[in-house]
Each structure stands twice: as C-alpha cells, then as structure tokens.
Amino acid sequence: MNKLLLAAILCSVPLAGCDVKDDEKALQELNVNAKYTVESVQVSGQKNWRISEALRKEVDKMVGSKLDYPALDRLADRIKKELHVPAVSVNIGKGTVPDNVVVNFEVPKSHEQPAELHVAKFLYDSKLGWSGEGDASTTIKSNKFTFGLVSDSDAMLERFSGIKAKFERRHVGTDRVHLRFEFDSYHEQWNQATLLASDQPGIYRSMQVFTPEATLVIAAPLELDFGTSFSRFRPEQPGAKIESSNAVVSTLRYHQRWGSKNDIDEQELNASYSMRAGIRAFETDNDFTRQMAQARYRFRRDHNSVEIGFLAGEINGNAPLFEKFVAGNASVLRGWNKFDLDPLGGSHIVHGSIDYAYHWLQVFYDTGAIWDVAQEREQKQSVGAGFKENGFQVAVAFPIRSGRIEPIFYAGLNF
Amino acid sequence: MRTIKTWWLVAAFVSGFGLAMWAEDLALRWRNNLLEFSAPHMHFLTGKQLERLHNGAQVPFDLKVSLYSGTKDHLCCQLAERFLVSYSVWEEQFRVIKTQSPRQVVDHLDAADAEAWCLKQMPLAPSGIGETEKFWARVEVRVPPLDGKTSNPFGRESISESGINLTGLIDLFSRPPAATQFHTMSEAGPWTLEEIKRGSRRGS
C-alpha cells in the first residue's frame, strides 16, 4: 500500500496546476520518515530563554501527527527568529514505541554562539540628517559582551556620537535575575536653536555614563529593572568644572504577545513605567525625579494592522538636558521639528499615536503636547504616510497647523 | 644468485596495492551499449550530509558524469541527475529517489549501496568516441547549499514546473561550488572503448 502511495506521489510530481503547498506535501511524503508518528517534541539547548506561548502551541501541535519535515524546518526558523539565535537544528530520534519518533529542536548553547552584528537604528530625517547605531556582540559562557557605535540626532535634543560597551549576564544564581553593566561615552553637537534658547548654561560637549543594572523577572513577562546611572558631563563653557548627574533608575516592564506572524490574528502589548531620581546621597549636581509611562498595543488581522501608542512623562526638579523629553522626532509627533516645538526639551509630555497598515502601506496620526509650565501647553497634531516592510520604513509626515507646512521625510531601519 | 631484499618485495606490494586502489577510484563497465560508472571509493553519504540524514532530513544530491575524449579538456558527453536521499531512523536504512524521468525509488539500502545505486542510474552513451580513441571520465557530486528557507530539492521552481531539468542541473555544475557547499569529484583515464568492452566481457 505504501509503495502504491509513493508511486502515486511520484507520478503526481510533474502534474501541472499544483501550488507550492502541494509541492511541500509531495516532498514531505518522499522522505522515508514521513510514515512515522511524532511522539513528543522538545526544544533544548540554552537555559535562559523561553519561546512564546503561541509558538509553543504550534510546536505541540506536531505531537500525534505524521512527521512533516518541511513543517519542522519552518518551526525551527520561527524559533530561531524569536530567540534571536544564529541557528536551530531539527533532530529526529526513535520514540519509545516502534514507528514513533521524538523531535528535538536544538538551540545552540549561548557560549557556542558566534559573534553577532546588529543594526539597532538607521535613520535619515530630512531636517536632522543621518542617525545610526550598530553593535557587535559575542557570548562566552552566559556572559554577553557588546560593543557599539552610535551617532544619533533623533532621540535627544543634541546629536550624540560615541561608543557603547556592555557586559550582560543572564543568569545570576537563578534565571530570574540578570545583571548588566554599560559604559557609554559621547561627544555632543548642538543645534543653533538650542544654543540660542539656552544661553549656554546646561550645554555640555561630552558625556560619560556608567549604568550598573539588574533585572528581576517577577512573573514572566513582567520584569523589573533596577540600578543606578552615573553620568559625568563637561560643560561647554571654558574652565567650567565637570558636572555629575547620578540617579537611581528603575523600570517596570511588561511585554506580551498573542498569536504569531503565521496566524490570522496577532496581538502584541509593550508597556513600561520608569523612574529616575537624582539624589543628593549620590553626590549629584542635579536633584530631580523623572517619571515616564508608555504603552504600545498592536493588533493584526491578515494584512491589516493597527498600532496604538501612548506616552506620558513628568520631570520635577533640576534635570540635565539629556533627561528632558523630546517631541518632534521620528517617533513622537512625527512631522514636527523638535526645535520648533521646544528647543530645550520639555519637563512634561503627553503623546498618543495611531498607525494603520495594509500590507506594506502605512498611514499614521500623532497628537500630543510638550511643555514646562502649564500655560505653554498646546496640543499639536500630525499625519503621515509611507511604506513599511521588515523593519525598513519610508515615510513622509506633515504637521497639522495653519500657515506654511513643510513635510519631513524619514527613511531607514528600526526607528 | 642474488636474493631480492624483503623490503623491495614489501615496496612492490604496497605500490601495486596503492595503484590498484587508485585505479579502482572510478571504474567503467560496458553494458547495453552504455557506459556504467562505479566509484567504490568515492563517498558522499558522509560528514554533515550524513548527520542531516541521521537527523531525519531529506538531502538532495546532484550528480554529474562526464566523458572527455582526445584531450582531458575536450568535453564529449555528460549527464546530470538529482537524487533525494532520506534515512529511516527506525530501519536505519536509506531511501533514494531519482527525480528525473523515468523516476525511480529504492528503499532499504546501506550507505555504500545507496551511493552505488545513484551512479548506476546514470549510464552514458559514448557518442562521438571512436573505439580506439582515448577518453577520460569524471564524476562530480554536489549538495545544493541550504539557503535558510525550506529547501525544495527539485530546485527553485515548483515541482509542477516539471521539477529541475537536465539543463538546470548542468547549469548548476557549470558554476564553481560555493565555499559552504559539499562537493566531491573523481576522475580517471585514459581508456579506450575497446579496452572497456574487453574488460567488461572478461568480467561478466
């Protein structure tokens, strides 16, 4: 009977009108192991990872069905993407009873992973120019070492350029505690609008930041980061002494995903609340507290996706310029120029956005306000459209206002 | 009488054995007016390919046989074929499928038999080669590189587009193998058809 089935498959191979799925079905059955039943499936290798619930369900679905190697290959590819590992291999072994097999997706152990290169951000903004951030990392026995270069005119008020070096350990006694130390050193370039508005005080030309931080996995996917941040910056004025801004930092973070790219519906929620407090006990020159809450929710059905974002923040006290909120960049009030909105940054911010995408076509609407004193608070709005595919995005955004409107053009990766 | 030193005997035996081994690297046999290839010392079900097969995957192998007449550079005739190999984790034996028409399938082979079966499916007509003309033979084996996507062993095209064809396979072999791609080759000669036919008659 099996021979007849195989003969039928072989004869059906050249038939016209088959689609790719038919091809895969035929290929699956050409594999001699396709006659065996999957007894169990496991994912093994590293200790410090967890695949999403949706992917786990997909993996578990294989149990009880006939071995479908192309489908296992696709699952291995998804695990690889989700865990950001260079490779995941599929191993088939004998089951506990004849004609049953066990499937093992093997993730290489972290110390076996080769060096990785990563482009964290690459952006062209027609008003602010180029921004880019990239890093190289390698993992040696659960210790991850990262070295990166950055030149960014988008995220903060000034363009900051320099190096980042980071050490991470994702297992400190338990998988629930991670530890990292980051050292950053930047040189700053200021826009004329900021220099005119500030009249020099607060402007610095270089900065070094050292951040020792720990992460506690409270109940996955709820995590708490806590640590300290020691910043030293050299003011622009000749002869001025180096200043320090040392703060206690903590972030409560939640990230959950329902469904996956291969499902009809997919949802994702990212939410966080962070607090930074510059306290006298750390011999800081800046006494302040900075609080920020943000959330992004994304829902996708087939090729339609909607993403809603929210951000609110408040600074009390005397915060350095690099702690100030910024609006009018590639993520907050897109289409506005940050130097028109507030060239010195704001101590209060509220922002909401909604993005709709069909396939790679995208439209968005942003609204929000940035201010220091309540009388300055004014709602701003912007709209835009563009193309987005696999992290690459091209968009044009317009501020909604009376008078002359100058669109801003954005292009790049992961911004 | 001078005696032959023992080490001369050993050297003669070793070199003779080595020559015989080398000579058997690639052998030709005349059957049904076609040249049949065999290469008992050329193995391609080895290394990473074998590891993938033992892990339950199905691995495509592209084979090409060629004849060169007159000089070693003058290609006279060639044939290429793709075989799909899988290894039963329970039976611990190989299944091989010849993908081009006439498609054939064989089960329950060990590694050496599976390799030999593949070559046996590729007899070549020595058209254009005279009975006493010198010719050389070459066998090449390649494994298509994994591109990270679900690989279609029939090639990039859909199976419905009649699978990978001979022209496509020859084209694949005309490009140098990628650094990460498994490839092996064996060549031998020169022979004449007369010698091969005589040898085949003695052997049969």
Q: How high is the ipTM of this complex?
A: 0.74
Q: What is the pLDDT of residue A16?
A: 37
The reply to whether A26 falls in a domain is no
Do the chains contact at A18 and B88, CB–CB below 8 Å?
Answer: no
> Does residue A383 share a domain with residue A287?
yes
Please determine, for residue B197, whether its predicted confidence score (pLDDT) is greater than 60. Answer: yes
For chain A, how many structural domains are there in total? Answer: 2
Size (chain A), residues: 415
Substitution target from A31, A62, A92 for chain B, most B beta carbons within 10 A: A31
Of A110, A136, A165, the one marking the end of a domain is A110
Q: Which residue of B has its CA nearest to A92?
A: B55
> Does residue A206 share a domain with residue A138?
yes
The reply to whether A10 falls in a domain is no
Please determine, for residue A13, whether its predicted confidence score (pLDDT) is greater than 50. Answer: no
CA dihedral sign, ordered A399, A400, A401, A402: positive
Helix axes A20-30, A69-83, angle to 10 degrees: 110
Among A328, A321, A292, which residue's Cα sits nearest to residue A158?
Answer: A321
Do the chains contact at B55 and A32, CB–CB below 8 Å?
Answer: no
The reply to whether A15 falls in a domain is no
The reply to whether A6 falls in a domain is no
> Does residue A64 share a domain with residue A132?
no
> Does residue A56 share a domain with residue A121?
no
Q: What is the pLDDT of residue B24?
A: 54
The reply to whether A363 falls in a domain is yes
Domain extents in chain B: 6-203
The reply to whether A17 falls in a domain is no
The reply to whether A278 falls in a domain is yes
> Does residue A165 share a domain with residue A46?
no
pTM of the predicted model over 0.90: no
> Does residue A232 share a domain with residue A375?
yes
Of A110, A136, A169, the one marking the end of a domain is A110
Do the chains contact at B55 and A89, CB–CB below 8 Å?
Answer: yes
- The CATH number of the domain holding residue A362 is 2.40.160.50
Please give the mean pLDDT across all residues of chain B. Answer: 79
> Does residue A265 share a domain with residue A234?
yes
Do the chains contact at A92 and B153, CB–CB below 8 Å?
Answer: no
Query: Can you tell me the mean pLDDT for B140-157?
Result: 59
> Does residue A69 share a domain with residue A208?
no
Q: Which residues pair with A184 in a beta bridge?
A: A164, A209
B111 part of contact set with chain A, CB < 8 Å: no
Going by the DSSP 8-state scheme, the letter that residue B161 receives in this structure is G
> Does residue A345 share a domain with residue A325?
yes
pLDDT in tens, A316-364: 998 999 999 999 999 999 999 999 999 999 999 999 999 999 999 999 9
Spell out which chain A residues touch chain B, with contact meaning CB-CB distance below 8 angstroms. Answer: 6, 10, 13-20, 22-24, 26-27, 30-33, 36, 67, 69-70, 73-74, 77, 89-94, 98-99, 101, 103
In percent, how much of chain A has pLDDT > 90? Answer: 57
SS (H, E, C) chain A: CHHHHHHHHHHHCCCCCCCHHHHHHHHHHHCHHHHCEEEEEEEECCCCCCCCHHHHHHHHHCCCCECCHHHHHHHHHHHHHHHCCCCCEEEEEECCCCCEEEEEEECCCHHHCCCEEEEEEEEEECCCEEEEEEEEEEEECCEEEEEEEEEECCCCCCEEEEEEEEEEECCECECCEEEEEEEEEEEEECCHHHHHHHCCCCCEEEEEEEEEEEEEEEECCEEEEEEEEEEEEEECCCCCCCEEEEEEEEEEEEEEEECCCCCCEEEEEEEEEEEEEECHHHCCCCCEEEEEEEEEEEEEECCEEEEEEEEEEEEEECCCHHHCECCCCCCCCCCCCHHHHCCCCECEEEEEEEEEEECCEEEEEEEEEEECCHHHCCCEEEEEEEEEECCEEEEEEEEECCCCCCCEEEEEECC
- The CATH number of the domain holding residue A94 is 3.10.20.310
> Does residue A305 share a domain with residue A158?
yes
pLDDT in tens, A162-216: 999 999 987 788 778 899 999 999 999 999 999 988 876 789 999 999 999 999 9
> Does residue A279 share a domain with residue A405?
yes
Please determine, for residue A87, whether its predicted confidence score (pLDDT) is greater than 90. Answer: no
- Print the domain residue range for A230: 115-413
Of A110, A144, A174, the one marking the end of a domain is A110
